[in-house]
């Protein structure tokens, strides 16, 4: 193991699915789990392949009702490759030995290495068959980072104690379903139809199919070449499988090498007429293995250059691993696609590949490295703005109501019922009331534009989204004369444990502080943008969005008078939170050990999390994640509230004691917020965020897909959280709060057009290097001073303790 490689020794069937998720390879266009090519989906293995944005809808009957679910579709499996020693070493005798399988015994050693620098996954293993014949296998795969439609699998097979012939079968499997998540097993999962297969002499097999409703055509071709030439070879099309069967001579010191080059196209791809023709062309014309590997490594090298991050120690190793998976999910290829941020990467089927608010934790990182990718992800939202406007209209509101879970066309995809695996009951799911997702979209629009200086975007698509999201908030706020304030009622905040008041007949909560404060922020930003627009553009924007010229006055009014509840000197998560019962945390910990999913535990006991002051994840504290202290205090002031340091500290303490961290986002946000208030426990939470996936802290969730928000969030923690970096249109604001455990590291960012602006943090110092260019100078603003650096200049700032 070094900083760039992750090695997994041995073979542990119980942890194989976790390893598959962590060893997923992808290039932003598609991804494939790190499954063993000789295995099909069963209790141990799950060889999933997913194309970004490739969704399909199916109807299932659960708990006596029909429900629709749209899933990111598991595509045909391109991995299949199996082998065995030919029965008696001659070409014309039918083989009797079994194909090698790690689950059938005979595995002598097994090691798997994920090489982050070059984006390859290598398996090294030895096996022995029933006749005592041993084979050493080295298998390397990659999903091409320069040509995103290609994947490559090289297998080198070397007999150790015999010589003769090897049987090798290399194929494509269209007999796949979405069945990777046990909780969804009662739901329909057969998304592919019309599978046809075929062959193209001398070495290629192909498969074509469609998704049942979204009607996405999928073409896949696999060309298998070998060294030495096969003693015999046959291409065999089947109903849903197609394969090339080979007999290969091999001996100790004279291994057989099998190269499988696979092409994937779908009918969603730009500049593609017929996916089948496209894959046949692509696989047929792909260069040899060594050339493909070289161009793939070059592409990765360029990515690493644009996202340089050097953090010492174990934290640095994990951060690089996180960066690797973020880049495999959202690469520069993503910029050419119509896709959002899938909460669980392209690594598994949890949450069905849906897009939540998690982009809030991802875009601020990408803005400073791959702004073109951020912009494409914002465009995904912009294309679905009309759909969000329709949802708002149907809810009797103005503007845009973005869905809590989004997939292909932007309608609400949140399931209506979900299964509590602990009780076996299907329960109503009200998480769709998390309307705060709209503010996350607005936040990302604003911050993308600030970090990049893309005012063109802000004035066009950005302004449209901001306006419609602001209108949604303004139209949903009801004036309460008794309070003399506006209220937003019937929502759910980020903490998903609370979906309603105990024993209330309708779901939803009133005055969620996070929702209201972010809504106030959106309204203010929308006003600012609209007022700054040139008059003709403002008129046009109002016409396009149906905004009445009088509406901004209401935005102003609501932005100043939204209600934020407080109790016992702290911000209330929502109105009435302080009156809920206190949970016996110690008692539950004693009884259940792991209580992260307290909601499931309580429901299985016949109780409900709604009754308790117990939160799944950071909710009110999210405010400290999104806004630097001075900005947050400013938003409260604008609302007519005083938020001093003491109130904030008390609020942090209060929720810290009442949160079970049932989401990986929680550790991240707590680590960030505690670091900002310079608290010793910060590191504990940062570690939790770092280990979330590599140690599968939530227990069995990572195997269903990585947690992309938490992964990207940890990168942003070192980039913006600990440096207090706030990239604005006119200045790069800095306010470092390094952790003793993480006080020395460096990274580069792209701020406006300054590529490779370097930051080096060391105890008591921050050094900044602005690379030479023709760009304007960079103004750095710290709490106690400001400095302007010309391109080519550097400075070292002494940091004073606050």
Each residue 718-747 as x (binds ligand BGC by CB under 6 A) or -, in order, gives ------------------------------
Encoded tokens for 262 = 């696979």
Read off the DSSP letter of residue 421: T
CB-wise, 151 or 350, nearer to ligand BGC? 350
**Least CB distance to ligand BGC at residue 435 (A):** 13
In the complex with ligand BGC, which residue's Cβ is closer, 497 or 751? 497
Residue 75 to residue 54: CA distance in whole angstroms: 9
Q: How many binding residues for ligand BGC (CB under 6 A)?
A: 12
Q: Is 691 annotated as a binding residue?
A: no
Give the nearer residue to ligand BGC in terms of CB position, either 53 or 709: 709
CB-nearer residue toward ligand BGC: 116 or 360:
360
CA distance 100 to 121: 20
Report 11-30 residues binding ligand BGC (CB under 6 A): none
Angle between helices 664-676 and 682-694 (to 10 degrees): 150
**Nearest residue (CB) to ligand BGC, 304 versus 577:** 577
260 is in an annotated binding site: no
The region of 30-38, 75-83, 350-358, 647-655 touching ligand BGC under the rule CB under 6 A is 350-358
Sheet architecture: strand order including 5-9 = 5-9, 107-115, 120-128, 134-143, 150-159, 256-266, 217-227, 204-211, 192-200
3-state helix, strand, coil in the chain (%, to 5): 35, 25, 40
Residue 616 annotated as binding? Answer: yes
Residue number with CB closer to ligand BGC (713 or 721) = 713
Beta-strand ranges (E) seen in 33-144 are 49-51, 55-62, 65-72, 81-85, 107-115, 120-128, 134-143
**Minimum gap (Å) between residue 659 Cβ and ligand BGC:** 12
Report whether 379 belongs to an annotated binding site: no
Tokens of 536: 């003709």
* Token pair for 761: 């943090």
Out of 29, 356, 655, 685, the residue judged to bind ligand BGC by CB under 6 A: 356
450 in catalytic set: no
Q: Which of 209, 248, 343, 492 binds ligand BGC (CB under 6 A)?
A: 343
- CB-neighbour burial class of residue 111 (10 A; exposed 0-12, middle 13-18, buried 19+): middle
Q: How far is the CB of 547 from ligand BGC (least distance, A)?
A: 30
Least distance between ligand BGC and beta carbon 735 (Å)? 27
Among 348, 494, 507, 727, binds ligand BGC (CB under 6 A): 494
Q: Which of 450, 496, 688, 703 is catalytic?
A: 496
Nearer to ligand BGC, 705 or 736 (CB): 705
x/- letters, 182..211, toward ligand BGC (CB under 6 A): ------------------------------
- CA–CA gap between residue 598 and residue 652 (Å, rounded): 21
Per-residue H/E/C for 424-471: CEEEECCHHHCCCHHHHHHHHHHHHHHHHCCHHHHHHHHHHHHHHHHH
Q: For the sheet containing 30-32, what is the strand order?
A: 25-26, 30-32, 49-51
Q: Which stretch binds ligand BGC (CB under 6 A): 311-319, 351-359, 506-514, 517-525?
A: 351-359
Identify residues 654-673 at the interface with ligand BGC (CB under 6 A).
Answer: 663, 665
Which of the stretches 228-236, 353-361, 459-467, 741-749 binds ligand BGC when contact is defined by CB under 6 A?
353-361
Please give the Cα distance from 501 to 576 (Å, whole number).
Answer: 8
CB distance 469 to 441 below 8 Å: yes
CA distance 597 to 697: 12
**Closest separation in Å from C-beta 604 to ligand BGC:** 18
For 620, 626, 643, 650, 676, the CA distances from 647, given in Å and listed in that order, are 12, 17, 6, 5, 15
Least distance between ligand BGC and beta carbon 673 (Å): 16
Q: Which residues contact 280 (CB under 8 A, 6 or more apart)?
A: 200, 204, 206, 219, 221, 263
Interaction with ligand BGC in 40-79: which residues (CB under 6 A)? none
Q: Which of 30, 300, 321, 351 binds ligand BGC (CB under 6 A)?
A: 351
φ and ψ at 545, to 5 degrees?
Answer: -95, 0
Q: Smaller CB distance to ligand BGC: residue 496 or 726?
A: 496
Which has the closest alpha carbon to 136: 243, 251, 271, 297? 251
Position 402 contacts ligand BGC (CB under 6 A):
no
Alpha-carbon gap, residue 349 to 364, rounded angstroms: 25
x/- map, 114-153, ligand BGC, by CB under 6 A: ----------------------------------------
Helix (H) or strand (E) holding 691: helix 682-694
Q: Which stretch binds ligand BGC (CB under 6 A): 77-85, 249-257, 352-360, 586-594?
A: 352-360
Measure the CA–CA gap between 710 and 362, rounded to whole angstroms. Answer: 8
CA 278 from chain center: how many Å? 29
| Minimum distance, C-beta of residue 343 to ligand BGC, in the bound complex (Å) | 4
Nearer to ligand BGC, 343 or 400 (CB): 343
3-state secondary structure of 325: helix
Q: Which of 230, 353, 500, 709 binds ligand BGC (CB under 6 A)?
A: 709
Task: Work out how close the CB of 379 gets to ligand BGC at its nearest, in angstroms, rounded to a whole number.
Answer: 21
Least separation in angstroms between residue 494's CB and ligand BGC is 6
From CA 215, how far away is CA 209, in angstroms rounded? 9
**358: contact with ligand BGC by CB under 6 A:** yes
CB of 496 to ligand BGC, least distance (A): 5
Q: Which is nearer to ligand BGC, 440 or 571 (CB)?
A: 440
Give the list of residues 6+ apart from residue 773 with CB closer than 8 angstroms, or none.
Answer: 753, 754, 755, 791, 792
Interface with ligand BGC, residue 617, by CB under 6 A = yes
Per-position x/- string for 273-302, each x denoting binding to ligand BGC as judged by CB under 6 A, each - no binding: ------------------------------
The residues binding ligand BGC (CB under 6 A) are 343, 351, 356-358, 494, 496, 616-617, 663, 665, 709
The catalytic residue positions are 496
- Residue stretches of the annotated binding site for substrate: 357-358, 616-617
- Residue stretches of the annotated binding site: 357-358, 616-617
């Amino acid at each position: 193991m070094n900083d760039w490689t992750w090695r997994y020794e041995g073979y542990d069937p119980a942890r194989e699915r976790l390893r598959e998720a962590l060893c997923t390879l992808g290039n932003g266009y598609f991804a494939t789990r790190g499954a063993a090519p000789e295995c099909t989906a069963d209790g141990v293995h799950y060889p999933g392949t997913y194309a970004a944005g490739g969704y399909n809808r199916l109807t299932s009957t659960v708990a006596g009702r029909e429900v629709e679910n749209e899933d990111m579709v598991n595509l045909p499996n391109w991995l299949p490759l199996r082998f065995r020693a030919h029965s008696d070493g001659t070409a014309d005798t039918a083989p009797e030995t079994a194909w090698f399988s790690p689950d059938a015994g005979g595995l002598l050693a097994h090691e798997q290495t994920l090489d982050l620098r070059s984006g390859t996954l290598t398996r090294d293993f030895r096996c022995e068959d029933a006749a005592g014949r041993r084979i050493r296998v080295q298998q390397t795969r990659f999903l091409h980072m320069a040509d995103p439609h290609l994947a490559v699998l090289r297998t080198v097979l070397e007999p150790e104690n015999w010589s003769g012939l090897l049987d090798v079968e290399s194929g494509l499997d269209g007999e796949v379903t979405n069945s990777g998540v046990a909780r969804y097993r009662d739901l329909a999962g057969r998304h592919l139809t019309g599978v046809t297969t075929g062959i193209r002499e001398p070495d290629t097999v192909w498969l074509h199919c469609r998704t049942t409703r979204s009607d996405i055509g999928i073409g896949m071709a696999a060309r298998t070449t070998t060294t030495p030439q096969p003693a015999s070879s046959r291409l065999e099309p089947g109903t849903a499988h197609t394969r090339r069967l080979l007999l290969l001579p091999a001996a100790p010191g004279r291994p057989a090498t099998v190269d499988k080059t696979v092409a994937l196209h779908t009918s969603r791809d730009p500049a593609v007429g017929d996916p089948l023709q496209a894959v046949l062309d692509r696989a047929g014309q792909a260069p040899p293995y060594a050339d493909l590997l070289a161009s793939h490594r070059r592409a990765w090298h360029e990515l690493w250059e644009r996202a340089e991050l050097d953090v010492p120690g174990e934290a640095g190793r994990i951060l690089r691993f996180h960066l690797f998976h973020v880049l495999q999910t959202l690469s520069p290829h993503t910029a050419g696609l119509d896709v959002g941020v899938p909460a669980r990467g392209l690594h598994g089927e949890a949450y069905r590949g849906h897009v939540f608010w998690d982009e809030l934790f991802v875009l601020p990182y990408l803005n400073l490295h791959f702004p073109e990718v951020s912009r494409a992800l914002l465009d995904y939202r912009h294309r679905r703005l009309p759909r969000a406007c329709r949802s708002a209209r149907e809810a009797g509101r103005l503007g845009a109501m973005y869905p809590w879970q989004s997939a292909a066309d932007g309608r609400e995809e949140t399931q209506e019922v979900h299964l509590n695996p602990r009780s076996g009951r299907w329960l109503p799911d009200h998480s769709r009331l998390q309307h705060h997702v709209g503010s996350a979209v607005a936040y990302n629009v604003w911050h993308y534009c600030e970090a990049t200086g893309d005012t063109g975007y802000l004035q066009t698509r950005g302004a449209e989204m901001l306006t419609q999201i602001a209108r949604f908030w303004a139209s949903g706020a009801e004036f309460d004369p008794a309070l003399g304030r506006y209220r937003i009622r019937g929502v759910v905040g980020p903490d998903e444990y609370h979906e309603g008041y105990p024993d209330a007949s309708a779901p939803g909560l009133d005055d969620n502080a996070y929702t209201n404060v972010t809504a106030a922020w959106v309204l203010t930003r929308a006003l600012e943008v609209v007022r700054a627009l040139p008059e003709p553009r403002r008129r046009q924007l109002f016409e396009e969005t149906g905004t009445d010229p009088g509406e901004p006055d209401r935005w102003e009014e609501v932005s100043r008078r939204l209600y934020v509840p407080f109790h016992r000197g702290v911000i209330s998560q929502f109105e009435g939170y302080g009156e809920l019962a206190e949970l016996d945390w110690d008692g539950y910990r004693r009884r259940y050990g792991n209580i992260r999913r307290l909601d499931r535990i309580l429901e299985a006991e016949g109780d409900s999390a709604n009754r308790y002051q117990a939160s799944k994840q950071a909710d009110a504290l999210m405010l400290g994640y999104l806004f630097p202290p001075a900005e947050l205090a400013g938003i409260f002031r604008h609302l007519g509230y005083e938020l001093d340091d003491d109130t904030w500290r008390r609020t942090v303490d209060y929720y810290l004691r009442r949160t079970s961290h049932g989401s990986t986002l929680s550790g991240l946000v707590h680590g960030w917020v505690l670091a900002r208030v310079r608290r010793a426990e910060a590191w504990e939470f940062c570690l939790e965020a770092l280990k979330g996936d590599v140690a599968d802290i939530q227990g069995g969730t990572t195997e269903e897909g990585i947690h992309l928000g938490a992964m990207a969030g940890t990168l942003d923690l070192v980039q913006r959280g600990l440096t207090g970096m706030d990239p604005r249109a006119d200045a790069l604001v800095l306010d470092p709060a390094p952790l003793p455990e993480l006080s020395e590291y460096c990274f580069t960012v792209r701020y406006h057009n300054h590529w490779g602006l370097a930051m080096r943090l060391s105890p008591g110092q921050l050094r900044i290097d602005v690379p030479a260019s023709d760009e304007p100078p960079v103004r750095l603003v710290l709490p106690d001073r400001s400095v302007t650096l010309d391109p080519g200049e550097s400075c070292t700032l002494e940091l004073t303790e606050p």
